[in-house]
Every structure is written in structure tokens, then in C-alpha cells.
Amino acid sequence: MFHKEGQNIILTTFMIVLALILIANYYIDILWLKWLVQIGSLVILILILQFFRNPRRNFIQNFDEILAPVDGKVVVIEEVEESEYFKGKRKQVSIFMSPINVHVTRYAASGIVTYSKYHPGKYLVAWHPKSSTENERTTVVIKTPKFGEILYRQIAGALARRIINYAEEGTNVQQGSDAGFIKFGSRVDLFLPLDAIITVKLNQKVVGAKTCIAVANDTSKDD
């Protein structure tokens, strides 16, 4: 299953690869060069297909848990000052996605979108400390039943050139459902309340809509 954001790229790549294979077959007489062109073209197609894959994830919605919004590796767990929306301290958990990871962004929790904004910017490598505030990015805030408002930020990396964000202010969203896509390498930052209990560790690999990132400290909380 492939993400809808990759349909045009996949179709275009398929047509180009098919043309290269046919051209190599009929017009290149040197055997090793013919095989090089044909195998190389197929490898490129396979890489594109892998990048835009959208595996189905079976999960049970849980208001007491924040699930990973993307596949990748945890690269930051720290208390920071979030200056765009909260203008106060929050726990930040950042997940880095390599080009071979699934790049679908999924809602980490169910709730109402209270803020959604796109920011143009630079294309620093995704693990750069300033990428969170200087790179192309989108910021989305969801008001949840147990955690109050949580914020996630899609951040473009050195290779990424387009961020897709489906979150619209005022809409109800469901944990684990499709929230967007980031093309070719990136990261996602989560900003959670200070009393949230983080359940992942640095360098841990996480799976979108499956791995629990944090649990509510007080399950009776209803902000």
C-alpha cells in the first residue's frame, strides 16, 4: 500500500524506468552497460516505492497514551522552552526519520486541532539543534482529553522539500490516523506537558501509531 502523496512520483518514475529499460534493450549493444542501466533503473524504482509505502497499522485508541507520530529513532528527550505557541516549558521528544523510514505522519493523540501553521524556512540537516526553529516546518496543536494541549512539529530535513499537513483548526482528529507526509528525510518534534511520563529512551527506534511515547501522569485529568 502506497501513500497518496507519492502517486504522481511513482507513476512518473515507473514511466521513466520503463523507457530506460526499453532504450537500453534496443539501443545499447555493450552487455554490461545494458545491464547496468536496466538494473540501476529498477533499483531507483524500488527505492521510490519503499519511500512512499504506507503500511496499515492496527491499534487501539488510548486517551492515556501519546503514540509515536512517525517511524524513526528518538534523538531528543529534554525539557525546553516552547516559544511559538505555549511560550513556556514543555517536555520535548524528537524523532528522526532516515530516507528508508516510513514517512507518513500520524496523529499522536485524539482531540481537537486548536492551532495549525506552516512556516517556510531553511533546510538544515534534521538533527541540527536549530532545525526546529529555522527549517521549513508546520506546527500543530491538539487539545486532548487527558494531556490538555500537545504540540507536534513536522520539520523538513536537508533532502526534504515539501511538508504535507492535513490538520485544520477546529477539526476532530483520531489517534493513529493520517496527519500528513514529509518527503525525503526529516524529523518530528513532540511537545508535551511537564507532568507527562516519557516511556521511550534516547536512540530507541519507534513505530508510528504503535510505540507509546508518553503516558498521562494523572488519568483523571480532563483539560
The residues assigned a catalytic role are: 186
Q: Give ∠ CA 113-116-122 in degrees, rounded to 5.
A: 150
Q: Are 57 and 68 in contact (CB under 8 A)?
A: no
Distance CA 148, CA 216 (A): 10
The count of other CB atoms within 10 Å of the CB of residue 60 is 7
Side chain identity, residue 140:
V
Chain length of the chain: 223
Q: Are 106 and 69 in contact (CB under 8 A)?
A: yes
